[in-house]
Amino acid sequence: MERMSLEASARTEIGKNAVKKVRQAGLVPAVLYGRGRAPVALAVDRRALLGALRTEAGRNVLIDLRVKRNGEEATDTVMISEIQHDPIRREVLHVDLRQISLTEKIEARVPIQLTGVPEGIASGEGVLEQHLRALVVRCLPTAIPEQLTVDVAHLRVGGSLHVRDLPPHEGIEIVSPPEEVIAAVVMPKVEEVAAPAEAAAPAEPEVIGREPAAAEGEAKAESGARADAKAPKVEAKPAKSDKADAKPAKPEKKE
């Protein structure tokens, strides 16, 4: 297992403003969690930290941390337990370190590297799918492998490789659930091509509101009503008699 040296200084001030000043100085805020002791706020050099993360061991790198505090320097063996990144710029914002013992087993995540060409792919029928990218193992810090190589050459179409199928590794205990699938060879998915839709008849314009017939009838009725309203009303006059008053006829004289 690869080891690196890293210097850190204790932080006496905490809070947002103090953390901002630390980052402006080119340092990364950190917290060291010890074995049975209170956490210690630290500041580590950004470039040195990134250099440790770029090693083959990655986050599992062993770090000899030299901490300067109150004019004294102490060295602890630590590992990175958590890293916080900026979601946009991906810069390291904070790191948690934990003190370890080289004589006690710990748990760590180890990347999986697939090797070999599966039979199902060599025959030109299937495709390989990797479902698991890392395994959780328990071992001594000095025995943590950089990666676990898994052979998938025997996989045929429909075949899969589970955690329980892995051969034993000396000094390493696999903690990941045995039923988890690491890789599988499956048939490629065939996308269904939709049949071209039949030419649809042109849709008639939609009439919003009243039905056409009803609207037309109502329009005529309204037009007639307006015409009747404009026509002048003619009052009927009583007819004149030929003579206003009829005189009584004179009696006929007798001789």
- For residue 4, CA distances in Å to 1, 50, 57, 112, 172 come to 10, 11, 10, 23, 23
pLDDT (mean) for 3-31: 92
pLDDT exceeds cutoff 90 at 167: yes
CATH number for the domain running over 107-186: 2.170.120.20
Q: Looking at the predicted structure, is the pLDDT value of residue 206 above 60?
A: no
| Res 202 pLDDT > 80 | no
Q: Are 192 and 160 a contacting pair, CB within 8 Å? A: no
Condensed to tens digits (0 to 9), the pLDDT of residues 114-160 reads 999 999 999 888 999 999 999 999 999 999 999 999 999 999 999 99
Q: Is the per-residue pLDDT at 77 higher than 70?
A: yes
pLDDT of amino acid 189: 80
Rounded CA gap, 225 and 223, in Å? 5
To which CATH superfamily is domain 3-100 assigned? Ribosomal Protein L25; Chain P (2.40.240.10)
pTM exceeding the 0.85 threshold for the entire prediction = no
Query: How far apart (Å, rounded) are the C-alpha atoms in residues 44 and 102?
Result: 23
pLDDT at residue number 201: 52
Where do we find the tokens 């049949």?
195
pLDDT at residue 211 above 90?
no
The Cα–Cα gap between 181 and 152 comes to 12
At 64, list the tokens: 């000899």
pLDDT for 204 equals 54
Task: Give residue limits of the domains in the chain.
Answer: 3-100, 107-186
pLDDT at 243 over 90: no
